[in-house]
Chain A
């Protein structure tokens, strides 16, 4: 279980002053559950996600507790955190599909993670790699391709394969389908749902797209201005939003879905 208690994230502005991106956030993630965190740009959702593996920029003030099975990650040394990253908590960062090094194959990216974090090389690494690409909906031949030879959707799947390299317990995905066509998007969301079922991992899906987040998850969280304003079953939140913000958002989206032409 991951328990976030009273988390605050404060960035120092280059021009001086501070921005408090997350304000007193508390939430729980469970294994075997797909939890989605929705919110508009600037709501603090990516900051909350990146705080978990300790990947916020240096100089960021992080307060509160992030308990992984009872152990506070915020109190951990960098070395200890490094042993958790990839192996227990893996991320698909925002813009993952554009973050591959262009001059090496996607397979080499996976090999590097397997070697550095699990000490796997040679045949053992290659065998594992095939399985990873299959889990992400690609076949093993993709390992030999360069990033530019893949479509956006395929690159995003490769980023998911990479995140699964060390068989993590937790997968945190930041906008994993943004900028992809809706048909491709649906394929990737179905893949992620399948991973929760087949591997029993705990997943956090961060998205600005409320219909996407709500239809993908079993538990929905909505953030606004750094605070959690909704938490519950998606159908419950859509039927009876508690906060004014989510009520306006839900109504605007439902109107768009139901209204006819102008």
Chain B
């Protein structure tokens, strides 16, 4: 197993010490090498906290995360650094995720230079990733903080996460700011990496994207794992009332032309 999550529970203390909010409540699932999983949930479901536990940015109050066979709870700092180099995160907010003073090319190369070194190869990899993501040559030398839309920043964050060729990619709503036309390109690129052996945890609130990204998925609602199974099933035959509500509220084009859906 590349990832094993058991009984994961995280409490956040309210401001002023008035009680706690349980962000994750006994969540358990596992992921085999080369397998991908969609994590479906809306605001407050705990999906971002889950990713932060797996990337060892949040320590759980109960339960455990084992990444590449290593229990994160017992790992020291140098061990965690080594694990994070094999597992990259595409954070939800592309505005906070990138060093604003770097150029696009530098932002993508930075992890490579820090971990592997070798400027020439780093630059070649960065250029190739950015091209694959449809970011034009003219953007490469512009500063991240200037003249980049949210969607473009997200694509830069994806390239930055992929440059070290992670074994596991953690994506937190990585296409939320893309227009429909570029969203497909980003997803296709991630799927190519999956076919080449990369595992992925794809967090989204959109059941269609969840199905496009992975065959299997889990649905989180208020910190609880309420449904687990084939992502296609969440759309066609959702079992939990919350999954049903998500599936029926999702706007679609197809019923307009074939009356089904």
User: Which residues of A are in contact with B by a Cβ distance under 8 Å?
Assistant: 40-42, 152, 181-183, 185-186, 208-212, 214-216, 234-235, 238-239, 248-250, 252-262
Task: Report the separation of the CA atoms of residues A186 and B191 in the bound assembly, to the nearest whole angstrom.
Answer: 30
Known: A41-B149, A235-B256. A256 touches B251 (CB 8 A): no
> Out of B151, B191, B205, which one reaches A41, CB within 8 Å?
B151
5 additional contacts (CB under 8 A) given A183-B249, A185-B251, A254-B253 = A182-B205, A182-B250, A214-B256, A216-B251, A252-B181
B253 touches A261 (CB 8 A): no
User: Are B179 and A40 in contact, CB atoms less than 8 angstroms apart?
Assistant: yes
Please indicate which of the listed interface residues B184, B230, B231 has the most CB atoms of chain A within 10 Å of its own CB.
B184
Total number of A-B contacts with CB less than 8 angstroms?
Answer: 94
Q: Give A255 to B252 CA distance when docked, in angstroms.
A: 11
Are B257 and A235 closer than 8 Å at their CB atoms? yes
In the assembled complex, the Cα of A186 lies from the Cα of B205 at a distance in Å of 14
Given contacts A182-B246, A260-B232, A261-B214, contact A238 B181 (CB under 8 A): no
Q: Is the interface of A mostly helix, strand, loop or mixed?
A: helix
User: Which residues in window 239-259 of B have CB below 8 A to A?
Assistant: 245-246, 249-257
Instruction: Give the residues in chain B near A248, CB-CB below 8 Å.
Output: 181
What B residues does A186 contact at CB under 8 A?
249, 251
> Which residue from chain B places its CB closest to the CB of A252 in the assembled complex?
B184
Q: Give the interface SS of chain B, mostly helix, strand, loop or mixed.
A: helix
Measured in the bound complex, the distance between the Cα atoms of B24 and A134 in whole Å is 35
Q: Contact: B212 with A262, CB < 8 Å?
A: yes
Query: CB distance A211 to B151 under 8 Å?
Result: no
Q: Do residues A183 and B246 form an inter-chain contact, with CB atoms below 8 A?
A: yes
Residues of A within 8 A of B195 (CB): 262
Contact of A256 among B43, B149, B191, B212 (CB under 8 A): B212
In the complex, the answer to whether B257 meets A208 with C-beta atoms within 8 Å is: no
Task: Specify the chain A residue showing the minimal Cβ separation from B233.
Answer: A261
B126 within 8 A of A: no
The residue on B at minimum CB distance from A245 is B181
Give Cα distance in the complex from A249 to B250, angstroms: 18
Q: Is the CB of B181 within 8 A of A181?
A: no
Residues of B within 8 A of A41 (CB): 149, 151, 179
Whether B194 lies near A254 (C-beta < 8 A) is no
Q: How large is the interface on B (under 10, 10 to 19, 20 to 34, 35 or more residues)?
A: 35 or more
For the complex, what is the distance from the CA of A233 to the CA of B173, rounded to whole Å?
Answer: 32
Q: Chain A nearest CB: distance from B226 CB in Å? A: 14
Please determine whether B253 and A181 come into contact, CB atoms closer than 8 angstroms: no
Query: Is B29 interfacial (CB-CB < 8 Å)?
Result: no
CA distance A214 to B261 in the complex (A): 15
Bound CA–CA A99/B168 (angstroms): 39
Give B51-91 interface residues, CB cut-off 8 Å to A.
Answer: none
A212 to B252, CA, bound (A): 7
Q: In the bound complex, do residue A182 and residue B181 qualify as a contact, i.e. CB atoms below 8 Å apart?
A: no
Asked if A253 and B253 sit within 8 Å, CB to CB, the answer is yes
In the complex, which residues 207-226 of chain B have their Cβ closer than 8 Å to any Cβ of chain A?
208-209, 211-215
Q: How far is the CB of A130 from chain B (nearest CB, A)?
A: 28
3 closest A-B pairs by CB? A261-B215, A181-B42, A211-B251
Write the nearest CB–CB distance from A191 to chain B, whole angstroms.
Answer: 14
Instruction: Kindly state the separation between the CA atoms of A249 and B184 in the bound complex, as whole angstroms.
Output: 10
Q: Give Cα A249–Cα B256 distance, bound, in whole angstroms.
A: 15
Select one of A40, A42, A183, A211 contacting B253, CB under 8 A. A211
* A182, A186, A250 pick with most chain B CB within 10 angstroms: A182
Q: Is B180 an interface residue (CB 8 A)?
A: yes
B231 pairs with A257, CB closer than 8 A: no
Residues on B with beta carbons closer than 8 Å to the beta carbon of A249 = 180-181
What residues of chain A lie closer than 8 Å to B194, measured between beta carbons?
262
Some 5 contacts from A to B, beta carbons below 8 A apart, are A186-B249, A215-B256, A252-B180, A254-B253, A257-B252
The interface centre, meaning the residue of B183, B191, B256 with most chain A CB atoms within 10 A of its CB, is B256
Docked complex Cα distance between A216 and B180 (Å): 18
Q: Is the CB of B251 within 8 A of A181?
A: no
Contacts of B184 in A (CB 8 A): 252, 255-256
Q: Are B213 and A262 in contact (CB under 8 A)?
A: yes
Q: Which of A234, A235, A254, A261 contacts B232 (CB 8 A)?
A: A261
Binary flags per residue of B94-110, CB closer than 8 Å to A gives 1, else 0:
00000000000000000
Smallest CB separation, A127 vs chain B (Å): 34
The listed residue (B206, B211, B250, B257) touching A260 by CB distance below 8 A is B211
**Contact residue among B42, B181, B208, B257 (Cβ-Cβ distance under 8 Å from A40):** B181
Residues from chain A with a CB closer than 8 A to the CB of B253 are 210-211, 214-215, 238, 250, 253-254, 257
Q: How far is the CB of B192 from chain A (nearest CB, A)?
A: 10
Cα distance, A254 to B252, chains bound together (Å): 8
